[in-house]
Amino acid sequence: MIRQYELVERVRKYNPHVDEDLLNRAYVYAMKAHGAQKRASGDPYFSHPLEVAAILTDLKLDDATIVAAMLHDIIEDTATTREEIDHLFGPQIGKLVEGLTKIEKLDLVSKKAAQGENFRKLLLAVAEDVRVLLIKLADRLHNMRTLHFVPTEKRARIAEETLDIYAPLAGRMGMQRLREELEGLAFRHLMPEAYRTIEARLHDLRAKNGRIIKRIEKELAEEFARRDIEAAVSGRQKTPYSVWRKMERKSIAFEQLSDIVGFRIIVGELEDCYRVLGVVHTKWPNVPGRFKDYVSTPKQNDYRSIHTTVIGPGHQRVELQIRTAAMHEIACFGIAAHALYKDSGSVEGKEELAKESSAFRWLQETLELLTHGDSPEEFLEHTRLELFQDQVFCFTPKGGLIALPRGATPIDFAYAVHTKVGNSAVGAKINGRIAPLLSQLQNGDEVEIIRAEGHMPPAAWESLVVTGKAQAAIRRATREAVRRQYAGLGSQIVRRAFERAGRAISDEKLKSALPRLARGSVDDMLAAVGRGEIYSGDVVKAVYPDFREERKPAPKTIEPGEPGWFGVKKSSNLVFKVPGAGDEVDAIPIRGLHGDVPVRFAADGGAVPGDRIVGILTPGEGITIYPIQSPALTAFDDQPDRWLDVRWDLDGDKHELFPARIVATAINEPGTLGALATVVGETGANIDNISFAAHSPDFREMTFDLEVADLKHLNDIIARLRGSPLVSKVERVNG
């Protein structure tokens, strides 16, 4: 366990103005508060927060962060309160400790809603002060370093959540060293055999290639010295996890990897990066397609470096990373390098950090999703999408740079520019040429979005985009469109309810009634009426408490032949009649049947040309024709001998109609049935039967037995009914 004076000296190395008294007081206070508590390893519990603080000294963080690390478990695990910490160490440290206390442990193996909500808490705490994230990552790193002391059944869960969330999050924040260690430790526990195998191969490779690496380092250094370029050259081997991931991604064997060893060249100035690149490409041939300039176009985690691969000494492939010392600092420590000595919890600190750090800006954009009401599961999934994707860099027509996940489309690009641009996108030009909105974007593409005001994104887009921002925006737009539709329907119902009651209606009156209806806005209330969640009479009563409505009992379902049934009525292209359910039908145009066996359509829903159909034989009764999607067929799953392969045999010159059933939920008011019947009649269909059921006081459920020409005809009827302002929902029934 690190000693008190050792911790102070570690901070003093990078911060000569360290508040030694503050660190000493925190050390003593935390040690006394944790008392005799023990870790799974048997060590004093205080060793954990102390080691977390030590990890943060490697990131060169400020005194407040180091103190908060020592105190980060103190509220949760001891009797200490936030007020005590504020009094002893100041409100800034108290706020950091409380932010860490509010974050519960993530459970990424089960209880998806709970884990999503916990991840929200993590990012909301980070929104207050980014140093919360740095302490949380250091906390996780020390827990992973001591994971072998944890009971076996818990190790896989902790390692999995580390690999799923913490390591990618560290990478997104540019903290590559911390990410690599987290990945390596998680990989060791999740796939120990694969880890040992790859580690052994890498060890053999180090022994075999040690001389070659030294030779390449020497030749590069000598070449730069001849050109008067000051550069530090070092070779490094890929980590076991990065090797395994590449083997999995590309489905290749270890022997096929050509870039296990890479070389890093650190120079003093930006111009030297390109001078080194010129020397390398002049001296050795470069490998086509292996050049990336992250200096001119940095990654979203602020990473800047030039990558290239050449055929170097001994005809070896040599992968090179060229960067300045400042770039190297950011590459290793990421956002922690920006956060040095800054109060990122203040408004000024956040603004300054956002200017310097693309990673912090990404974090802020991700947090914006929290304000739009997505479910915890959706938020977690969207954020994980953002964490795991590699990137492509595209440009707007004005030269603006947009970084997107690999596999992104112009739709993702449009939403990355602005939500309004995405919602109104109807087309795209890629590099000046019209292209489908689902085209996959490539590095360097210039994308222009063609817009149409008033356009709303189809719900199907949600499954086609790859960015969490686009998915969330499309889902919100879809929900809003449905909500507006229900609000429009509810507006008609409420207006007519007030007319029937003989009472005046206005927005002001409706607003005054919202508390009694438990709704936040008039639109919310109208949408609830449209969905049948609020009865329109209750809205009238909420506005006029003295209103007394005489509600009539809901009518029962009326069957053919009962009093009140329509009987037989004819008008143009519209026939109401009373058929016998399941009546036999002569000359059904179906192939696959032989002899004089009686044939009928299924009584509940029938079948129409365009449906895939199947015949079910009932000895002594005949054959019943079902559409293949009919749930009734499950009753015959264990009787394969009764199934007959049948298909339609239609005569194109003969106009025939076939039975189908639909259920429509419509506004309960005079004239509704006539309006819907007219819609059906205008399509040339017959209505054989209508029955009713009470859905709610404002709605009636109407079941129509129709005769239609084919599936296209039936779908046309359903579409027209759905377009009626009187209709809430229409569905086909398959018996």
3-state secondary structure 479-513: HHHHHHHHHHHHHHHHHHHHHHHCCCCCHHHHHHH
Query: Please, what's the b/e burial string for 288-327 (b: 16 or more CB within 10 A of its CB; e: otherwise)?
Result: eeeebbbbeebbbbbbbbbbbbbebeeebebbbbbbbeeb
pTM of structure: 0.54
Architecture of domain 389-457: Roll (3.10)
pLDDT of 648 strictly over 60: yes
Positive or negative torsion for Cα 329, 334, 339, 341: negative
**Contacting residues for 681 by C-beta, under 8 A, at least 6 apart:** 571, 572, 573, 574, 687
Tens-digit pLDDT profile for residues 255-276: 777 677 788 999 999 999 999 9
**Residue 77: active-site member:** yes
Q: Which of 4-13, 113-122, 314-323, 452-461 has the lowest mean pLDDT?
A: 113-122
Q: Of 248-252, 339-343, 721-725, which one has max mean pLDDT?
A: 721-725
pLDDT of 277 strictly over 90: yes
How confident is the model over 601-613, as a mean pLDDT? 83
Helix (H) or strand (E) holding 733: strand 727-733
Tens-digit pLDDT profile for residues 565-580: 333 332 222 222 223 3
pLDDT score, position 184: 93
Architecture of domain 199-333: 2-Layer Sandwich (3.30)
- Does the fold of domain 199-333 match that of domain 4-192? no
Structural contact between residues 263 and 318, judged by C-beta atoms closer than 8 angstroms: yes
Catalytic residue from among 19, 77, 381, 549: 77
Distance between the two ends of the chain, CA-based, in angstroms?
72
How confident is the model over 290-319, as a mean pLDDT? 83
DSSP 609: B
Share of residues in the chain with pLDDT > 90 (%): 15
pLDDT score, position 429: 92
pLDDT range class, residue 188, cuts 50, 70, 90: very high
Tens-digit pLDDT profile for residues 693-721: 876 778 888 999 999 888 889 989 998 89
Helix axes 47-58 and 63-70, enclosed angle (nearest 10): 160
Distance CA 66, CA 292 (A): 37
Tens-digit pLDDT profile for residues 312-324: 766 777 889 999 9
CATH number for the domain formed by residue range(s) 569-733:
3.30.70.260
pLDDT score, position 108: 41
Q: Taking the domains of the chain in order of start, what are their residue ranges?
A: 4-192, 199-333, 389-457, 477-543, 569-733
**Residue 161: active-site member:** no
Distance CA 469, CA 368 (A): 9
Tens-digit pLDDT profile for residues 191-240: 999 999 999 988 888 888 778 888 888 888 888 999 889 999 988 888 89
pLDDT score, position 67: 92
Distance CA 266, CA 473 (A): 42
Beta bridge partners of 618: 622
User: Is the model more confident about 675 or about 104?
Assistant: 675
pLDDT score, position 153: 81
CATH number for the domain formed by residue range(s) 4-192:
1.10.3210.10
pLDDT of 289 strictly over 90: no
How confident is the model over 606-621, as a mean pLDDT? 82
Q: Which of 23-37, 298-312, 537-551 has the lowest mean pLDDT?
A: 537-551
How confident is the model over 117-129, as a mean pLDDT? 61
